[in-house]
Copies of this chain bind each other. A is one copy, B any other.
């Protein structure tokens, strides 16, 4: 090629720099230009809560490479031979003439930059709900480094002892922890009936209880009606349909919307979720225009539809593919399975694939298991509990999704489940996985494998599970089963389901006649192990309506009583 290939990348946060760097690798001779609205390139947006809390002390750390080199325009120029135009806005794309019109945000000057291949990495913006008071000066999203800077300034003032967070998703929860650790009173306000909607309601309720225990106030099913200002014109309270919350600052984290105006005005096709539609090569409806990162819709491999999933991990993979193909190489990105993780105080929370609720909505009949178990050999001192929920197709036994939370190592098992989902594995395959075993890392039977076995047992008719929400609904309806608690007296006294009858497992054979045969019986223990033995003993005398509380008391999120 006589002329070097001209590649223009719009967007300098995650997918853009990755695409530009990758294009350079694939085509050493290309002319590569990176356009970014802000002065800062390639910052780690996911690190903002840790910067606010002080866990990350240096602002520059969010913008450095792992070896501590600041990712400023000079770095890209010198190390990568990529021309960077910071503080420059792309205002229009002329696809017929293959030109991007840009405007300097400092001088207002406009000019046209020609391209052979264009890569859109315009990212996403925080959704701003149309609430009265939303534009008060101390009401802010948490998306850019400047948002974190502003919040840190607000926190330095006396007036900001309490913070309200609208939205109890990933960022809401991370910010709740960050602000609580700064000694602030935190109220999480969520419109939906549960926090963290990437979990099923039962798992979310366990997390909800834990967050409340940490000292955060949580309101669910609460609609924000207005944010009201004090005399100084600054937000001072959030009015909801469940009451008013005092707040010296309000963080709004209710989601992100892909930045697509540039693409839309250029006539590129958008997808059903509102993101730029791309194929597996990250190509838009114009073969010379690629898109990557938070501005695109992602193919969801499990769902068979597209979804929005604004994550730095996916943005980097997509950027690599867009950069490769724009530079004349060949790469594809098959899509995501929907994996996410969040640290919330001392708990690790992670999920992948479909939730149980997702599965039902998609018309798949799910089978579920919930188990509780130690993340390491139970005798290893650092062993901590995790609660695992697996969801499988009840007919084909294929894994559909997994959710894990608790103080133990949840993320490791979710990564395995995500890999299994990608490969289309069934629960019988998962139960046989050769996962690494040594006491500091896992018990001999990894909780993921135990969960797969529990699910197999249920599908094979060897055990019948009742889930906490089902049992609670039966209890509330007044038509509850006989609840047989087979733990020790000490465990029972520390906290049990109101109305449960204590018969320790060791005593059960001798006290069988205390268990009625004309009512459904739900056996429970701390996890499920002893309850299963109890169910077996009852079945052996011919009882038929025996079930086991899935996950035991470890996964019971409703009221208990002591004594």
Contacts and interface: CB of A to CB of B under 8 A. Distances in A.
A460 B201 CA distance: 46
A65 interface: yes
Contact of A436 (B61, B352, B505, B509): B352
Nearest to A29: B540
Given A79-B530, A415-B436, A505-B79, A313 B444 contact: yes
Contacts of A64: 378-379
Nearest to A446: B313
Contact of A66 (B24, B342, B420, B443): B443
A317 B432 contact: yes
A539 interface: yes
Copies assembled? 2
Interface string A404-443: 0000010110111011101111000101111111111111
Given A46-B439, A79-B505, A444 B316 contact: yes
A56 to B, nearest CB: 5
Given A25-B457, A419-B423, A423-B425, A44 B78 contact: no
Given A64-B378, A67-B527, A343-B441, A435 B418 contact: yes
B462 A26 contact: yes
A62 B50 CA distance: 39
Interface string A384-413: 000000000000000000000000010110
Interface in A1-40: 14, 24-26, 28-29
B445 A313 contact: yes
Interface stretch (A100-108, A126-134, A253-261, A332-340): A332-340
A201 to B, nearest CB: 21
A429 B420 CA distance: 12
A312 B449 CA distance: 13
Which among A44, A339, A441 has the highest number of chain B CB atoms within 10 Å? A441
Contact of A50 (B336, B342, B379, B437): B379
Interface in A437-478: 437-446, 449, 453, 457, 460, 462
A442 B314 CA distance: 13
B418 A536 contact: no
Given A46-B439, A412-B415, A434-B336, A66 B506 contact: no
A529 interface: yes
A286 interface: no
Contact of A78 (B343, B380, B506, B527): B506
A144 to B, nearest CB: 16
Contact of A435 (B79, B415, B444): B415
A477 B25 CA distance: 33
B437 A313 contact: yes
A55 interface: yes
A434 B418 contact: yes
A329 B453 CA distance: 14
Interface in A522-543: 525-527, 529-530, 532-533, 536-537, 539-540
Contacts of A481: none
A364 interface: no
B420 A436 contact: no
Interface residues of A, number: 102
Contacts of A79: 505-506, 530, 533
B314 A436 contact: no
Contacts of A377: 44, 46-47
Contacts of A381: 55-56
A506 to B, nearest CB: 6
Which among A379, A444, A446, A509 has the highest number of chain B CB atoms within 10 Å? A379
A548 interface: no
Contact of A437 (B46, B438, B441): B46
Nearest to A412: B412
A191 interface: no
B343 A440 contact: yes
A527 B65 CA distance: 12
A414 B316 CA distance: 22
A350 B436 contact: yes
A194 B360 CA distance: 54
B453 A436 contact: no
25 contacts: A29-B540, A44-B444, A47-B377, A47-B380, A61-B378, A61-B379, A62-B379, A66-B374, A66-B527, A78-B509, A312-B437, A313-B437, A314-B434, A315-B444, A339-B435, A340-B436, A340-B437, A340-B438, A411-B436, A415-B415, A415-B433, A422-B433, A423-B423, A423-B424, A423-B425
- Which 3 pairs across A and B sit closest by C-beta, in order of nearness? A423-B423, A313-B437, A341-B436
